[in-house]
Amino acid sequence: MRNMLPSLSALEDSAAAVSSTITRRIERRPMWVRTLVLALVFTVLSTIVAYRFIAAHAALSFQDEYVYLDAVDKAARGIVTRTNATVDEYAMRIISCRGVELFGYQGSACGAPLDPAQFPYDGYTTAPIHSPLYFFLTAWLAKGILFFFPGEELVQVARVTGALWLGLGLTASWRFIRALKGSRTMALTLCLLILASPQIRWSNFYITPDAFSLLAGALIMLAALKLVRGEWSAWPLVLISLFMTMIKFQMVFATGAALLFVIVWQFLHRADRPRWWKPIAWSGLATLLALAAQFSYQKLRYVYALPYSGDNDPVDPVGDYSLRFAAEQLDNFILNLYMGTGARHQAYTFYVGLPHAMVTLAGLLLVSGVVAVCFFRIETSREVRTLAHTLLFSTIIIGPLFYTYINVTTGSEFDLPPRYAEALFPLYCVGLPMVVKNRWTQWAMLVFSLLVLASALITNDLL
């Protein structure tokens, strides 16, 4: 009887042979073909998840979607949203009839005459804090979709565009993991876990510049990795950083993490690299240019601001600088970056509840992978370990640093939401995929990721 049953080693040999055959067939294709197919698959998958989520969440996100929708509506008509501009009728109609997650209906009654004074910020917009780049890109894509699907609501179509950036972000994350020698099984596992993240749903299935965060972080870290290896020039890092930081200021956090990685890596190898300082200089230039572009825009938006006749009440809570409060931001992102707003926003957690168990388990698993690479004797490359250390350090320290910047420049004091550091999502790419080496354990992780994604689709909530 025992002889009739295939041994475990025979099964492993068969699986290895099949895997090897598939791998050879895949690798015969040019890299651009494989990347294009990946992007199509991930974008379709993202669109399916997006459609289900968007259909169930008519209310606008309380994370400024109201003013972002107005900016996209203006951009669709060729109008740049200027500082001190008022929100137009379309966004007011939407928020009065759909309401806002957690806060309910806003402004005038649905269908009633619009009174701007009854709407958030007295009818003024706060969207110009971000450059028009995201809003015009979203408007152009939305108009293209509306050409094929006339009659759809702009708010719905604009939300769906986030699935494209998510699909591309997953593709870039896959390429980043594969560049670090992670297996295809673990690359797929991580991409599915990312797709199931509540924070990803918050950022990519509502209208917000945060939709670019995953793509920005993965591309910037991949460009930095290729730079130190000598496989790419510095220009991809410079141009990607510049473009993404113009989408949203916080994207520069990924460029800062990339700069830190390049500094540490090049310093460790200075003895065998005569011009070891050159990649550091280029990475520093990428960071400086990104910051210069963003601060130049901030200057211009005040130069071309419209007259303001509203009150001067602050948008965010104010408070004196607190060293204790700064220290409390240290743990803002390492886990909540995956678990999302529901894990950090106290009012939201009070009304809705804690994130569901599958989210918590997935988040803890991802963080434990990063901790294992950083602090335990895991069999991995020095390159991966250096990336893990620099990304983990960046994710921890950015909370107090950014709180300090906000408080000093604006006087505001509030817990930083996870989306502020979302460009550091590649942190998770250098953890679990680098730790799990056994083939059967990898398949177990893949099954777990499918269960997490299924749970996200079934519950279909914000958590």
Tokens of 127: 């969207």
| Backbone phi and psi for residue 205, each to the nearest 5 degrees, phi listed first | -115, 10
Q: What is the pLDDT of residues 246-256, one digit of tens each?
A: 999 999 999 99
Q: What is the rounded end-to-end Cα distance, in angstroms, of the chain?
A: 50
Q: Give me the chain's average pLDDT, please.
A: 90
Residue in the structure block whose two tokens are 């990898």: 442
Radius of gyration of the chain (CA): 23
Q: What is the pLDDT of residues 282-334, one digit of tens each?
A: 999 999 999 999 999 999 999 999 988 767 666 777 888 999 999 999 988 99
Q: Which residues of 127-163 are buried (b: 16+ CB within 10 A; e: fewer)?
A: bbbbbbbbbbbbbebbeebbeeeeeeebbebbbbbbb
User: Which residue intervals of 119-251 are DSSP H helices?
Assistant: 133-148, 154-160, 162-179, 184-195, 198-204, 213-229, 235-247
Q: Is the pLDDT of residue 280 over 80?
A: yes
Q: What is the pLDDT of residue 415?
A: 84
Give the single-character DSSP code of 182.
-
The 3-state DSSP class for residue 327 equals helix
User: For residues 22 and 55, what is the distance between their CA atoms, to the nearest angstrom?
Assistant: 38
The 3-state DSSP class for residue 122 equals helix
User: For residues 451 and 439, what is the distance between their CA atoms, to the nearest angstrom?
Assistant: 19
Q: What is the pLDDT of residue 368?
A: 96
User: For residues 281 and 238, what is the distance between their CA atoms, to the nearest angstrom?
Assistant: 11
Q: What is the pLDDT of residue 4?
A: 47
Q: What is the pLDDT of residue 459?
A: 84
| Paired residues of 104 in beta bridges | 100
Distances (CA, A) of 30 to 23, 27, 39: 13, 7, 14
User: For residues 125 and 105, what is the distance between their CA atoms, to the nearest angstrom?
Assistant: 18
Q: What is the pLDDT of residues 3-55, one digit of tens each?
A: 544 565 665 566 556 556 666 666 777 888 999 999 999 999 999 999 999 99
* pLDDT band, very low/low/confident/very high, at 1 (cuts 50, 70, 90): very low
Q: What is the pLDDT of residues 307-319, one digit of tens each?
A: 887 676 667 778 8
Name the residue with higher pLDDT: 9 or 409: 409
Q: What is the pLDDT of residue 425?
A: 97
* pLDDT band, very low/low/confident/very high, at 341 (cuts 50, 70, 90): confident
Average confidence (pLDDT) over 274-279:
92
Q: What is the pLDDT of residue 369?
A: 96
* pLDDT band, very low/low/confident/very high, at 412 (cuts 50, 70, 90): confident
Q: What is the pLDDT of residues 90-119, one digit of tens each?
A: 999 999 999 998 888 999 899 899 999 899
Q: Return the sign of the alpha-carbon dihedral for residues 384, 385, 388, 391.
A: negative
204: phi > 0 → left, psi -120 to 50 → alpha, else beta; which?
Answer: alpha
Q: What is the pLDDT of residues 371-384, one digit of tens each?
A: 999 999 888 999 99
Give the single-character DSSP code of 29.
S
The 3-state DSSP class for residue 86 equals strand
CB 325 within 8 A of CB 404: no
Give the single-character DSSP code of 60.
B
User: For residues 259 and 376, what is the distance between their CA atoms, to the nearest angstrom?
Assistant: 25
Average confidence (pLDDT) over 192-203:
94
Give the single-character DSSP code of 100.
B
